[in-house]
Structure 1
């Protein structure tokens, strides 16, 4: 009996202890570890997925595609989740065109995360997805494609989900691919039982540039050709539609995909700036075409330390020829006659010192404060030294003259489109009248004379009047503030046809090792590209063709321009 009672008590104690242990475990699981285990269960059977969709496309003004995103996928096997059997191995190897033994070897020798094949196309993606095999992942990757292979410098660089430079960076918030996310419940085999929540942010915009693919292609090809002929550090070319202000082409060679050179490059413009001085003098009725200036036979000692020299010695010369032959001495005297009080407002009104675009790297150039100008500064500014400009500023100033004296805003972005929604549609935006229509006509006539009889002869095109001006300046190192010995920046800026301007164009040749002057380097490039544009745009002639000049070699002027 005693033994029986003893056994009963032992069983009783065991039952009580067991109950306490079980109750404690329940308490631990339900109360103490509830949050942890709940989250663990959610991770095991409830998963969130996220996929970044393609970036927006980029088009030219005519709807030709310049950049698009292609999505491809990596096929990945998670070994811990993968159902390893003959059927699954056979199915995957067949779709991916990988031998079964090779596939098995990859899985066996890999760690938990095994990348089976990279960058598969959409048709393969669909077939793999249809298998619904647990542990098989499809990881999306994007790559930018450039069907036309032009305007790459303007477009810039991007990675899968972020713009890194130039247009891709500036308008990244519009181009960025939308993110599609899903909150899913899966069964033990990894199959999606239910989608609890699906969310997506706004789809990206497609961006249309003002660039014309045909003109851009010509500009890039000619820049590359002349880079080989002239052996410069770089060539920069801009083409602007005179009527609208749209930038039809913009390029530099070698191309820079990190910095947009045509709006960031800063340089002393040399004699192309004389056109601004001329415009100010005409508009203020201080000078006229027949005024005579003493060009000092090619050398003028302005003070004890400084002298100005011209390559071509000239004596007393009328302003028309001072401009055509690009005398620095003559224009130094023109600038002094106008005076900085009258001249400075025109420098600002023509847009120098201004920024026109949303691009982060655009420079405003370097224009001295009015109060810092001395006589020597007026002299040097009058032939394009002591002031630094950007290519975009200079071409837009010439476009103002072509537009009868009205400065308009240059456009590079034509519009952004998402479905039926369009924003930012570019339109002709007048900034201000800089000079009168009569002044603009007089300046244009002077520019035509430069091409007919002066330093711009190499820019001629049979059947068309070309208005333009050459420029040559010693190359300034902006970091040291000193000129680079033996280095020049040469240029030509103008518009055509001069009697009814359609396009303006700027050519810059940075430090050619072959030639020294803009008449030899930039003017021929202008003629070449303008001839192509005239042809593809079917621009009507504005003069009779002088057949006696067609086969005659163009005189390569080597004056100080």
Structure 2
């Protein structure tokens, strides 16, 4: 009996152990199942990225930079002017290279290296313990094919995005470029590339996992995966055809007059949208590292503030008329010069001319300095200063471009009459071409100053489009005053110094300005160095454009009526035809 009981007990123990083993198997299977569910549902993105391979994973983690476009309003299309292209980054693994001298010679020949460069490359490749040596970035397809045909051991490549600017001859100052930082990374510099660098860059993704000391994934370790978010696309307000015409004409005028530089800005008065913005000398953003001076990176239309000279006079006159201090028919007697408080010498007219008794229209037509001082005194210095600031001078316009200069009107706050007197005819203060054209656009727009817009739309990767809104800054002058000044500016072109800016068959308003260039670091002005400008708009009865033209230090002629005015007239005639605006008067 005892023996039987022992056998029964033993059998029971075996059954118990089997039952425990069975439950253990079921528990283990359950854990595996739960882990698989967790992986499939909660970490699907991680393993999908891991399984895609290193190259595809790189594409997932590094965002694609957004592109930049401008309009072609005639075709109603968008034209890319900053795009991405896939070029090769060639590198070597010296551990795999058997003949460093032969490899250096072969690569050096393809890349056009000198003997010294080949020797230096050989020294870098002849390092058996070195796993990595970079050779060249942005290698084009043709060169890459030649490298691959050599089948050199240890020479490898990867594709990487590179920025391409298809129309560099008219876009350097607007676009900026992609430059290299101290840590070897790249980022946008200047222009749109610099201003919108963060938005264009996008958000980098990441893949995070825990590994053991052998580099293997830990099965139950932490894993996170976040895909990259591509950058936005930026659509500019610029019109491709207008931009090309403005930039081409500016370059031709510079060559003709042997000028040091120049700029053109064209604006739609009713919206503040920039239709064209050109600066010279410009640069090729594809080869930004080949410039003679980094100064060329600055956009002269927004960066180079200068004393505007006589193109400022209509703004002074507009202020005086707006407060009722003068009218177009108000007369004063010019004796050739006038004394002002705070200066011990008389202030005279250009070339010492004396005009006698004239009205305010004649003051603008003949660009009489003393007449502008008369207008400033008639309204009072404080009122004059208020209008100067109301037109936007001495402050940033807020345009979405890098390196904008606010100019300076600080001297007007001193209170001495000399500063307001000289400012009334455009000396002693500094402005940018953009500030000037926006002020003239305000006159053309019934006295309403608009904020300048150079970005029309932002296109997000998810398909969302953000439209930039037109924004009013201030009603600077009354609409009636704006109409009055407009008529006076037509008279300036037809009876004054602005005749070469005229367009037959149309009423165009505008004003010339030949500005002296202040000495750097001392008092006074440079000899034989002037800046010629012309600012205006048209057609006056329904303005479609406002424009400023600036020519720096022309060598053949001094006065703006022979440099900036003809350039303005040429571009204005093109614009009227481009906008298909019919003539309103007989063409003689």
What is the TM-score normalised by the length of structure 1? 0.76
Indicate whether 1:230 and 2:245 are aligned: no
- Once residues 364 and 108 of structure 1 are traced to their aligned partners in structure 2, the CA distance between those partners, rounded to angstroms, is 50
- Once residues 107 and 473 of structure 1 are traced to their aligned partners in structure 2, the CA distance between those partners, rounded to angstroms, is 59
- Once residues 70 and 221 of structure 1 are traced to their aligned partners in structure 2, the CA distance between those partners, rounded to angstroms, is 27
Partner SS state of residue 337, structure 1: helix
Aligned residue number for residue 70 of structure 2: 60
Equivalent residue runs for 1:269-418 within 5 Å: 269-296=308-335, 298-300=336-338, 302=340, 304-311=344-351, 312-356=353-397, 357-368=399-410, 371-418=413-460
Q: Deviations over 1:158-207 (max 9, x none)?
A: 13731122221111001116545556999xxx9x9x9x765433211111
How many pairs were matched up?
474
- Once residues 503 and 289 of structure 1 are traced to their aligned partners in structure 2, the CA distance between those partners, rounded to angstroms, is 24
What is the CA RMSD across the aligned residues, in angstroms? 3.6
Greater Cα offset, 407-416 or 530-539: 530-539
Indicate whether 1:253 and 2:272 are aligned: no
Residue 457 of structure 1: CA displacement?
A: 0.3
- Once residues 484 and 251 of structure 2 are traced to their aligned partners in structure 1, the CA distance between those partners, rounded to angstroms, is 36
Q: Deviations over 1:311-342 (max 9, x none)?
A: 34311111111111111122122211221122
Q: Deviations over 1:382-420 (max 9, x none)?
A: 111121111111110000000001111111111211234
- Once residues 348 and 321 of structure 1 are traced to their aligned partners in structure 2, the CA distance between those partners, rounded to angstroms, is 26
Does the 8 Å CA contact 2:281/2:296 hold for their aligned counterparts? Answer: no
Correspondence for 2:566 among 524, 528, 531: 524
Closer, same or farther: CA 202–301 of 1 in aligned 2, 3 Å: same
- Once residues 349 and 411 of structure 2 are traced to their aligned partners in structure 1, the CA distance between those partners, rounded to angstroms, is 27
Partner SS state of residue 482, structure 2: helix
- Once residues 157 and 502 of structure 2 are traced to their aligned partners in structure 1, the CA distance between those partners, rounded to angstroms, is 60
- Once residues 358 and 348 of structure 1 are traced to their aligned partners in structure 2, the CA distance between those partners, rounded to angstroms, is 21
What is the TM-score normalised by the length of structure 2? 0.73
Residue 494 of structure 1: CA displacement?
A: 0.2
Aligned residue number for residue 233 of structure 2: 206
Correspondence for 2:157 among 105, 118, 138: 138
Greater Cα offset, 472-481 or 459-468: 472-481
- Once residues 198 and 505 of structure 1 are traced to their aligned partners in structure 2, the CA distance between those partners, rounded to angstroms, is 52
Q: Deviations over 1:8-44 (max 9, x none)?
A: xxxxxxxxxxxxxxxxxxxxxxxxxxxxxxxxxxxxx
Aligned residue number for residue 469 of structure 1: 511
- Once residues 522 and 436 of structure 1 are traced to their aligned partners in structure 2, the CA distance between those partners, rounded to angstroms, is 29
Closer, same or farther: CA 120–455 of 1 in aligned 2, 3 Å: closer
Indicate whether 1:148 and 2:135 are aligned: no
Aligned residue number for residue 31 of structure 2: none
Does the 8 Å CA contact 1:235/1:510 hold for their aligned counterparts? Answer: yes
Closer, same or farther: CA 533–498 of 1 in aligned 2, 3 Å: same
Q: Deviations over 1:31-80 (max 9, x none)?
A: xxxxxxxxxxxxxxx99975645421110134111111212123445354
Partner SS state of residue 452, structure 2: coil
Closer, same or farther: CA 345–299 of 1 in aligned 2, 3 Å: closer
- Once residues 358 and 125 of structure 2 are traced to their aligned partners in structure 1, the CA distance between those partners, rounded to angstroms, is 87
Partner SS state of residue 210, structure 1: strand
Closer, same or farther: CA 266–118 of 1 in aligned 2, 3 Å: closer
Aligned residue number for residue 70 of structure 1: 85
Does the 8 Å CA contact 2:190/2:401 hold for their aligned counterparts? Answer: no
Equivalent residue runs for 1:450-461 within 5 Å: 450-461=492-503
Does the 8 Å CA contact 2:67/2:233 hold for their aligned counterparts? Answer: yes
Partner SS state of residue 355, structure 2: coil
Residue 489 of structure 1: CA displacement?
A: 1.6
Does the 8 Å CA contact 2:190/2:403 hold for their aligned counterparts? Answer: no
Does the 8 Å CA contact 2:412/2:420 hold for their aligned counterparts? Answer: no
Does the 8 Å CA contact 1:153/1:260 hold for their aligned counterparts? Answer: yes
- Once residues 378 and 273 of structure 1 are traced to their aligned partners in structure 2, the CA distance between those partners, rounded to angstroms, is 12
Equivalent residue runs for 1:423-438 within 5 Å: 424-438=466-480
5+ residue gaps, structure 2, are 1-52, 73-77, 99-106, 111-121, 180-184, 283-294
- Once residues 371 and 124 of structure 1 are traced to their aligned partners in structure 2, the CA distance between those partners, rounded to angstroms, is 63
5+ residue gaps, structure 1, are 1-45, 85-92, 97-105, 548-561
Indicate whether 1:166 and 2:226 are aligned: no
